[in-house]
Structure 1
Amino acid sequence: MAETTTQQRPLMGWDKPELDLTNAQWQSSSRGVGDVQIAFVEGFIAMRNSGRPESPSLIFTPDEWGAFVSGAREGEFDLT
């Protein structure tokens, strides 16, 4: 039986560095509500699920973060 291997390739347009988040200073919301934490690392914003900190973090550029926060404030991600 032939062995198959899966090679991971970077996502198209993915121009973000591999960040070391080992010593990141994770912050929760000021209200202490929710499962999201963010950290500012090397000019990027990392976001993770505080309930599963070992899972992958999302990495945003400052412009992407601004668009995400604006969309959230405007209800773009609200369940209807």
Structure 2
Amino acid sequence: MKDTVLEIVMLESGDIVVRRASETDEPLLKLRFSDELASTLGDERINIAKIMLSAGVQLVAEAGVRQREAEADVLRPPVIH
């Protein structure tokens, strides 16, 4: 999925999905606001979804960095003085 282009789309149902730009099949992620909240947010719903998704992507990236650092520590031979 490294070279995959993703898109954020609001479906006719009002659900906001993240999917591969080249596909319209099963989304990778789906955000669904309750009817009450959706009507309160109005057109801001997509902007709020983008912020939520951006925060999630950042957390996933940070977790990946921590995981790679932990793996590197395990693979690094101990220093003996």
TM-score by shorter chain over 0.5 = no
TM-score, normalised to structure 2, is 0.38
Higher helix share: 2
The structure that has the greater radius of gyration is 2
Higher strand share: 1
